[in-house]
Structure 1
Amino acid sequence: MTSDFAAGNYRFIPAVFQYSAGAAALPGYEIERVRFDRMPTLAEGFAKIAEYIKAAGRPLTSFCACELRSPAAFTDQGFLEFNQHYVKTLAEWGIYDGKTNPVARSNVCPEIDPPGEPSFHAFSFVRPSTNATASFVIAGSGEAMEGAGPYSERTVRYRDLGPDGIRDKVRHVVGAMESRMGAFGFGWKDATAAQVYTIRDFHHVVGEELVKRGAARSGLTWHFARPPVIDLEYEMDCRRVTREIVI
């Protein structure tokens, strides 16, 4: 089930308070993705994003997705505290109402040369377009099942780094991507990019669990990074965006 966020001209998949499971532009609009050449910190990044969106003649409510980089994986409590801080700006922008958050997000932790504090890698916003091609951004998902409770109780093959454990983690995450795209009526045949975040060797399952299922239609971008919570090992996100820029 999806919901419309009329103020941003996009629809989204409701999930948890810190992010939605995905965002898709409404007819007459498209998503533009902007990647930072040099990552700004969270506060600096929000300021730069606001400046960019306003310069494009768009309201701040058109902000629909972002990709963050953090210094290291969080504990469950640390992740909660970070998210409570993160959504304050979205509330100020008229996006987060205290319960529902339409903005999709990925937040991962580079294993080598991580930022000193949470920073922005990229963001996406919605703008008017005559392009009839639909666009969407699916939020990052690790191998934790949806629901409440500690991540340790919801993680597929918790702390299992063997070949079978990695296979099941990858399989679960690819399935999550397919489910989220399916909520918008899309699939791998529509995606223009797919990103993988892990420091583990997953090459033994690339052919069966990724390529054969269509996840590598446009190739795979592998980031040597950890998911945002301790003991999660594999994360993905994907998108269909035809307008991308680096600033």
Structure 2
Amino acid sequence: MNDFIQTYVERDLPALGLNASPTRVRTLLTMLVGAHGHLLNVSELARSLGLTAPTVQSYLDFLEHAFLIRRLSPYFVNINKRLVKSPKLYLRDSGMLHALADIEDNETLAGSLQVGASWEGYIVQQIIAQLPYQVQPYFYRTADGSELDLVLVRGTKPVVGIEIKYTNAPTLSRGNYIATRDLGNIPLVVVTPSAEDFRLDERVQVCSLRSVWQYLNPLKVLRSN
């Protein structure tokens, strides 16, 4: 994977038209490990790299078009709340994330500060890959702490919220419940590594990645096979 990253940075991205120093691009990718699963702060990245914010923004645009990163947009609803406006950033390939973070095996990953964000990014990518064009993914967060990791929207209507937990005994925050109410009392699916399926209440289903599809499919948010 490290050889792949080096080749991609030094040869493939320049061949695709990225006019940037390979060393600087590699540094940017490494910095994005810390941003993975968090709100994107372009100004902070620019200061760390000694570049202007528009320059870093152009690099991020290129990396997104090359399918290396994903910027997940916040969902806005017409309510009287202060909503977060910055996107969340994810490295789309978990193997690349782990290589850039020097995570070489499951034991190292399990003890890493990145494990929760890694799991979140992996689930986000797996679910988004199964969405039809008419269903769009967002996250939801307000300044007072109401949030959902993923909101699937058909047209202009939120259909389901998804929380991603790296534990088989998940608990939800008050902000999670408020977010579902903000979005029209949508159902909430909590995705864990391997928990047995159970309900926290009539609107909240806990499941694993293996079984999440059976709860999303009836909501008509997945591609038809």
TM-score with structure 1 length normalisation? 0.29
Per chain length, whose mean CA-contact separation is higher, i.e. which structure has more relative contact order (CA < 8 Å, sep 6+)?
Answer: 1
Greater percentage in strand: 1
Looking at CA atoms only, which structure, 1 or 2, has the larger radius of gyration?
2
